[in-house]
Amino acid sequence: MTGNQGRWPKIDQDGIEDVTLLILEWLGEQGVNAMIRVDAERVADNAPAWTFAASGGPLEHGMRAEGRTVQQCMSAALSRLREAGLSVPF
């Protein structure tokens, strides 16, 4: 086990980190395949390490969003999902 490398949980100001799993569950109920992942190599390189990807269901084309934090990633993902016509209720 490598420990937390000096990182402590951050308090999310707008709550998106708290509802990420609910968003994924809701997308699945709509027939959308979705996932969020973190890439350890990108964390080490200080690059945008979080990726959200979704396809299927009412999405005409697959989509993805990236961010340096889960908050940035999911904020971009929600924006793109809404642009694609999905009214995500979170």
Three-class HEC string of the chain? CCCCCCCCCCCCCCCHHHHHHHHHHHHHHCCCEEEEEECHHHHHCCCCCEEEEEECCCCCCCEEEEECCHHHHHHHHHHHHHHCCCCCCC
Lowest model confidence (mean pLDDT) among 8-12, 21-25, 31-35, 76-80:
8-12
Tokens standing for 69?
């934090």
pLDDT value of residue 11: 41
Is the pLDDT reported for residue 1 higher than 60? no
Is the pLDDT reported for residue 10 higher than 70? no
- Report pTM: 0.79
Percentage of the chain lying above the pLDDT 90 cut: 73
Q: Where are the domains of the chain?
A: 16-83
Q: How far is CA 80 from the centre of its chain?
A: 11
Is the pLDDT reported for residue 7 higher than 60? no
